[in-house]
């Protein structure tokens, strides 16, 4: 097993960004490693999945690679006012990593993104924006930011919203996941397989269900699976359990 | 929550040693933090408990500090031929940490050691050698090195044994846990409370049971608890489960 | 010598922030350590001073502590639209560090800030905003953001400016260093001693000279020293040389 | 620039080993990176060259890769009693790194080792043992352990010596650098170009001069260069200056 911490200058962001890369003990000679990109939540960073779950165990038992980026408070998007974190994490970082670690497969069918909370929204956003790079996405506790209440009232909350997305209607632009999903459905390309999960006690369960409804209304366009765990909310035990279920869903069994 | 990585020159060892210190989000003003020292296994290091368990969660939920030292391949003893890792980890490092982080309690009743496999042996050895520093020890998958087969046959295994302990009978010196336990029983001092655990499928279960027998034969001398989990062996799921049980045993409940 | 990497949740910023703490080998028993806070440049982070200079050597030879925070792209201010990095670095972080490491002196006369480029502006801003915490500031290649050209033309540069400071005149508010200096001069309190340095080849030399003029016009208010090195520009060799000169200026001699 | 910290399980050593990999900002498309392996001193570790010199600057300015392993107290040899650190650092680690980072050239003419003090001895030992892997070696403050006084008197010093090398005459086996040099001279293969440096004030100058004499007596066998700096001893300023001179010697100019 190798746990690798990188500190690399980002062209998009113009400063150094940290990232963890976790590789299994056994690296097969004949083929490249499938890769799971793990997105942190709103108050987390690149250490979140490493410190709060047994991702190192899963990597080793199941023989894949995990990459844990850090995007600060950006929700994994190109901020309306702020850095182009969406381009960094969806485009620049994969290229950097594939360059630096050629043992990682760069095929779309071998790359998956998984995220929680803000990172759950973020991974849907990335996967729908870069469908040529990612074959599947596992979004946990993930609502569409388009469905969040917004009053342009100069509150801290509204300032953050404007900073991230502007004051526009997110059902009409790429910051909206359902908007993205509908736009992508019009194109004749391979779309990512979507695994979506929420705990029954999650305070944003209803927003998750709106996303569910969207994808379930396009069954011929999206291969969509929804999973709900009763009794769990917006907590690490839920996200860890869903991580394991998602690895099973992806066909990454214990070797 | 704070995860702190230290790289500090050791006086005993004459080179830099790394260590993790994990502190909870909420640090009470009125009292100092109880501290759990976590010893790694034979092929592990200071990252082991951090990467393979949810120790960060437990620290935060239960409001204590965790310290994860690294002693390389030394089994946490003053090597017969090699560095004085036992003095480092049982004496120098606690003093360094108490100096550097005065929010840590240095009272014996607030300091506990916990280790797995070689570190399970190691934590018994440290706790019995420094009973004035540690109020309890939680030894998982922990046999007495005195009970391991030894043939002075120039094999790699025998060389390692001599390097660590010499070619002597470990039932007759401080490298032997049962020897330590008997010597300490003769003294009129407070002895550490001992929690000992082994999985039914552990290949060294019999060695664990010899240690059990030793402590159970001195019920007026040692407060000893043994726990066995059926169906588990020498693996992280066992050690994580026992970590939780040991925290409960110590009276470190979820806050 | 101890190099300590911390990852601590910030109350102001609502996410984890990394920081380096560097302590000398010899920690005097009788007195607490003077502390130099080192601010990075616009494209740097907490690793900058550690990786690009011999700060570890200086800490050890001269017996002080160094703390290297990371504030991403914020210029060390409470962003107009964005996180309160100024409060984090000038108020929250010192308190966190003084709490966590009581060997650090929290007296104003024992705390100094030093920064380069954006961090040079940043350290002036912090020292003038929190004069009760910092006894001196060493600003290298440091202009006043109030003197930077600004056209509200929707360019990336103007967006960044608005994000950091708004579209206001920085000669009229606290984002302006000269404004801060004049306001602080009106108060009857101890002001930080200011050391300011720029290379003759620095492309922003003129902006540095405007700051120089401001402080030199208030000789009864500020203890101000300016140093210019001929032939050097906006580069690490200049900043490292000035770091050494600033340590001498502070009276932190080689022991 | 990328600073990468790896924690990788070693097959030879049976536990995790840390290592730094430093890559330049600009990675040429058409060719692979030349690599400098940097060996630490007796009380150092993998952080030594990173924290005490401007290696990050040199990597970036000159466009090569640097790798900083950690071998604890082993002097970079297969210990007589202890781990096979020599095999780890001279054979296993290069293969691991070339596998993990294919942007590194694995050609002998593109790989150089450089070390200080114990690591100076160590890099000579490695380069002479694995001449097929390393095209050059830069040994700073580097004597032959065969020339160190040895009395088998049960002192700590003698125990360390036995642990590392046994109690044999190091002029008669591979632990002796001069012995290695003579043995390698008998073979019809390409030998590493040797750069050797010592400060006039180094307490082990005479041992350095014995190594010098050895190589200078075989001018047709070894391309050997000796450099002495007057007034400097066994200190980082000497090693940093020699690092720069060695990079120039290797033909790695500032780009």
Mutation for testing the D interface, residue in C18, C43, C56, C61 having most D CBs under 10 Å: C56
Measured between CA atoms, how close is B253 to chain A, in angstroms? 18
Distance from CA of C153 to the nearest CA of A (A): 14
Contact D236 C51 (CB under 8 A): no
**Chain C residue with minimal CA distance to A159?**
C81
Q: Which tens digit of pLDDT belongs to each residue from B5-20?
A: 999 999 999 989 999 9
Apex A45 CA angle, A40 and A46, nearest 5 = 85
Instruction: Return the SS3 of B65.
Output: strand
List CB contacts (< 8 A) between C44 and chain A. 15-16
Listed residue (C1, C16, C14, C6) closest to C101, CA to CA: C6
- Give the mutation candidate from D5, D16, D27 for the A interface (greatest A CB count, under 10 A): D5
> Is residue B88 within 8 Å of B55, Cβ to Cβ?
no
Where do the H-state alpha helices sit in chain B? 48-52, 55-62, 85-87, 93-100, 118-129, 156-165, 177-185, 205-216, 236-249
pLDDT score at A159: 86
Of B47, B52, B56, the CB nearest to A52: B56
Q: Which residue from B2, B7, B16 is facing C7, i.e. has the nearest CB?
A: B2
Q: Looking at chain D, which residue has its C-alpha nearest residue C53? A: D54
Residue B51 to residue A47, Cβ atoms within 8 A: no
pLDDT (tens digit, 9 = 90+) per residue, B89-143?
999 999 999 999 989 999 999 999 999 999 999 999 999 999 999 999 999 999 9
Length of chain B: 255
Q: CA torsion, points C55, C57, C59, C63, in degrees to nearest 10?
A: -160
Contact call for C54 and D53, based on CB within 8 A: yes
A146 CA to chain B: closest CA distance, Å? 32
Classify B182 as helix, strand or coil.
Answer: helix
Cβ(D224)–Cβ(D194) under 8 Å? Answer: yes
How far apart are the CA of B203 and the nearest CA of chain C, in angstroms? 38
**What mean pLDDT do residues B19-39 have?**
92
At residue B98, what are phi and psi to the nearest 5 degrees? Answer: -65, -35
Q: Which residue of A has its CA nearest to B240?
A: A54
A57 contacts B236 by C-beta, under 8 angstroms: yes
Q: Across the interface, do B72 and D15 touch by the CB < 8 Å criterion?
A: yes
> Partners of A16 in the beta sheet?
A9
Summarised one tens digit per residue, pLDDT across range C135-178 is 999 999 999 999 999 999 988 888 889 989 999 999 999 999 99
Mind telling me how many Å the CA of D55 is from chain C's nearest CA?
A: 8
Interface contact C82-A14, CB threshold 8 A: no
Give all domains of chain A, ordered by start, each with its CATH number. Answer: 2-249 (3.40.50.1820)
Q: What share of chain C is helix, strand, coil (3-state, %, to 5)?
A: 35, 20, 45
d(CA B35, CA B55): 13
Q: Would you say A252 and A62 are in contact if contact means Cβ atoms under 8 Å apart?
A: yes
ipTM > 0.90 (yes/no): no
Instruction: Give A10→chain C minimum CA distance, Å.
Output: 9
Residues of D in contact with B13 (CB under 8 A): 73
Rounded CA-CA distance B64/D72 in Å is: 31
Does D4 sit within 8 Å of A6, measured CB to CB? Answer: yes
Closest Cα to residue C89, out of C31, C160, C137?
Answer: C137
DSSP string, D45-110: -TTHHHHHS-HHHHHHHHT-EEEEE--TTSTTSB-TTS-BHHHIIIIIHHHHHHHH-TTB---GGG
Q: How far is B45 from chain D (nearest CA, A)?
A: 7
Q: How high is the pLDDT of residue C156?
A: 84
Q: Do D8 and A27 touch (CB under 8 A)?
A: no
Residue B154: exposed, middle, or buried by beta-carbon count in 10 A (0-12, 13-18, 19+)?
Answer: exposed
More confidently predicted of A255 and A105? A105
Asked if C7 and A159 come within 8 Å (Cβ–Cβ), the reply is no
Inter-chain contact B47–A3, Cβ cutoff 8 Å?
A: yes
* Contact residues, chain A, for B236 at CB < 8 Å: 54, 57
Helix (H) or strand (E) holding C179: helix C177-185
CB contact under 8 A, B57 and A3: no
Helix (H, G, I), strand (E, B) or coil at B252: coil
Minimum-distance CB partner of C15 among A13, A15, A73: A73
Residue that is written with structure tokens 């360019």 in the block: C155
Interior/surface letters A92-104, b for 16+ CB within 10 angstroms, e for the rest: bbbebbbebbebb
Q: Name the nearest CA neighbour of D96 among A103, A199, A53.
A: A103
Q: Which residues lie closer than 8 Å to D205 by C-beta, 6 or more apart? A: D198, D199
* Other chains touching C, judged by 3 or more CB pairs under 8 Å: A, B, D
Chains in contact with chain D (at least 3 beta-carbon pairs closer than 8 A): A, B, C
pLDDT per residue rounded down to tens, chain D (255 residues):
699 999 999 999 988 999 999 999 887 778 899 999 999 999 899 999 999 999 999 999 999 999 999 999 899 999 998 899 999 999 999 999 999 998 999 999 999 999 999 999 999 999 999 999 999 999 999 999 999 999 999 888 888 899 899 999 999 999 999 999 999 999 999 999 999 999 999 999 999 999 999 999 999 999 999 999 999 999 999 999 999 999 999 999 998
Joined tokens for residue A204: 């944003």
Treating both helix axes as pointing N-terminal to C-terminal, what angle do B177-185 and B118-129 enclose, rounded to 10 degrees? 20
Neighboring chain A residues of D1 at a CB cutoff of 8 Å:
8-9, 16
């Amino acid at each position: 097993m190798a746990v690798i911490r990188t500190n690399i200058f980002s062209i998009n962001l113009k400063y150094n960004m940290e990232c963890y890369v976790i590789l299994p003990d056994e690296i097969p000679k004949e083929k490249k490693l499938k890769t799971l990109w793990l997105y942190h939540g709103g108050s987390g960073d690149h250490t979140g999945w490493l410190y709060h779950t047994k991702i190192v165990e899963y990597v080793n038992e199941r023989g894949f690679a995990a990459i844990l980026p850090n995007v600060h408070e950006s929700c994994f998007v190109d901020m309306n006012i702020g850095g182009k974190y969406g381009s960094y994490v969806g485009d620049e970082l994969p290229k950097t990593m594939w360059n630096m670690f050629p043992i990682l497969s760069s095929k779309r069918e071998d790359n998956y993104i998984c995220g929680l909370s803000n990172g759950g929204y973020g991974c849907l956003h990335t996967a729908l924006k870069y469908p040529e790079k990612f074959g599947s996405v596992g979004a946990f506790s993930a609502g569409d930011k388009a469905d969040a209440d917004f009053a342009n009232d100069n509150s801290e909350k509204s300032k953050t919203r404007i900073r991230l997305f502007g004051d526009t209607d997110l059902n009409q632009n790429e910051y909206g996941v359902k908007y993205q999903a509908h736009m992508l459905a019009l194109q004749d390309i391979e779309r990512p397989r979507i695994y979506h999960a929420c705990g029954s006690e999650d305070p944003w369960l209803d927003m998750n269900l709106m996303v569910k409804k969207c994808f379930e209304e396009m069954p011929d366009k999206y291969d969509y699976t929804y999973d709900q765990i009763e009794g769990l909310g917006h907590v690490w035990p839920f996200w860890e359990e869903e991580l394991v279920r998602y690895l099973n869903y992806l066909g990454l069994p214990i070797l």
